[in-house]
């Protein structure tokens, strides 16, 4: 296993660092008790956006805007991030982060419960869908993601290992069950080719069939 602490520290040292807007967004998220993705997960988000030259990304769970800034840093310069957030105070922190980074014009920020907002988004239109909101709802987000992604689009989900709880069959709280069911549903879906990377709290990536 490559999850030795020395290796994690080494990899972090090699990773591209945070710029000032990212650092400020992370600090504000911590202050507001919003669990932002770790920087190494942010690096994966930016890599995926860059590798796919993403022009359209949907994010479920804006938080304080930290993960959104990583996406925007890798997307096509004309690309638009559509991000959904339930909590108005989190949304305003995220909007502050986009403004400070000079990318507010590339963000469509939607306020409301994801399961009410997702049906308003157009089918087959998005290069990437990123899931990082209510863990028990991940299986329902998956159904929407499949509808929203263009053929060949990429599904990304954070926290899919939940600190190891998903791998412990004795843990059966609602969030862990949601994540376990989500991981199984992606794996068993013939239209999705995916894998779980043990980076941060576990990142699932999957490509929708062309």
Ligand X SMILES: C[S@@+](CC[C@H](N)C(=O)[O-])C[C@H]1O[C@@H](n2cnc3c(N)ncnc32)[C@H](O)[C@@H]1O
Name the residue with the smallest CB distance to ligand X: 63
Q: Using the rule CB under 6 A, which residue among 57, 82, 132, 138 binds ligand X?
A: 132
Structure tokens of 113? 């419960």
Verify binding: residue 98, ligand X, rule CB under 6 A.
no
**Site membership for ligand X, residue 34 (CB under 6 A):** yes
> Shortest approach of ligand X to residue 190 CB, angstroms?
28
Is residue 134 near ligand X by the rule CB under 6 A? yes
> Do the Cβ atoms of 77 and 55 come closer than 8 Å?
no
Instruction: State how far Cα 134 lies from the chain centre.
Output: 12
Is 90 a binding residue for ligand X by CB under 6 A? The answer is: yes
61 binds ligand X (CB under 6 A): yes
Distance CA 13, CA 63 (A): 26
Question: Is residue 36 near ligand X by the rule CB under 6 A?
Answer: yes
Alpha-carbon gap, residue 186 to 49, rounded angstroms = 21
Q: Is 139 in the site for ligand X (CB under 6 A)?
A: no
Please provide residue 90's backbone torsions phi and psi, each rounded to the nearest 5 degrees: -70, -45
114 makes contact with ligand X (CB under 6 A): yes
Report the nearest approach of ligand X to the CB of residue 1 (Å).
25
- Closest contact distance (angstroms) between CB of 210 and ligand X is 28
Q: Which of 63, 73, 79, 200 binds ligand X (CB under 6 A)?
A: 63
C-alpha pair distances (Å), 88 with each of 62, 110, 112, 121, 204: 11, 10, 8, 20, 28
Token pair belonging to 57: 């990304």
Among 22, 37, 72, 166, indicate the residue that binds ligand X (CB under 6 A): 37
**Nearest CA to 58 among 80, 27, 25?**
80
- Binding of residue 182 to ligand X (CB under 6 A): no
Q: Please, where are the H alpha helices in the chain? A: 5-14, 20-31, 39-51, 66-74, 88-100, 114-117, 138-148, 174-188
35 forms part of the interface with ligand X (CB under 6 A): yes
Please report the sign of the dihedral spanned by the C-alpha atoms of residue 9, residue 52, residue 187, residue 123: positive
Q: In this complex, which beta carbon is closest to ligand X, that of residue 111 or of residue 171?
A: 111
Residue numbers at the binding site for ligand X (CB under 6 A): 29, 34-37, 61, 63-64, 66-67, 84-87, 90, 113-114, 132-134
């Amino acid at each position: 296993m490559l999850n030795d602490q020395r290796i994690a520290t080494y990899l972090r040292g090699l990773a591209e660092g945070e710029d000032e807007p990212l650092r400020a967004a992370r600090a504000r998220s911590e202050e507001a008790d919003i669990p932002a993705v770790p920087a190494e997960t942010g690096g994966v988000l930016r890599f995926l956006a860059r590798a796919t030259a993403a022009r359209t990304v949907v994010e479920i769970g804006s938080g304080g805007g930290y993960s959104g800034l990583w996406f925007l840093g890798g997307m096509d310069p004309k690309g638009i991030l559509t991000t959904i957030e339930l909590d108005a105070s989190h949304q305003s922190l995220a909007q502050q982060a986009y403004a400070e980074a000079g990318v507010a014009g590339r963000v469509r920020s939607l306020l409301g419960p994801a399961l009410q907002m997702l049906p308003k988004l157009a089918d087959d239109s998005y290069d990437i869908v990123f899931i990082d909101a209510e863990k028990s709802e991940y299986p329902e987000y998956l159904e929407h993601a499949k509808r929203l992604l263009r053929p060949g689009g990429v599904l990304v989900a954070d926290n899919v290992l939940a600190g190891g709880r998903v791998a412990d069959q004795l843990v059966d709280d609602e969030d862990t069950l949601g994540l376990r069911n989500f991981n199984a549903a992606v794996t068993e879906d013939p239209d999705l080719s995916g894998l779980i990377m043990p980076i941060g709290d576990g990142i699932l990536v999957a490509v929708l069939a062309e």
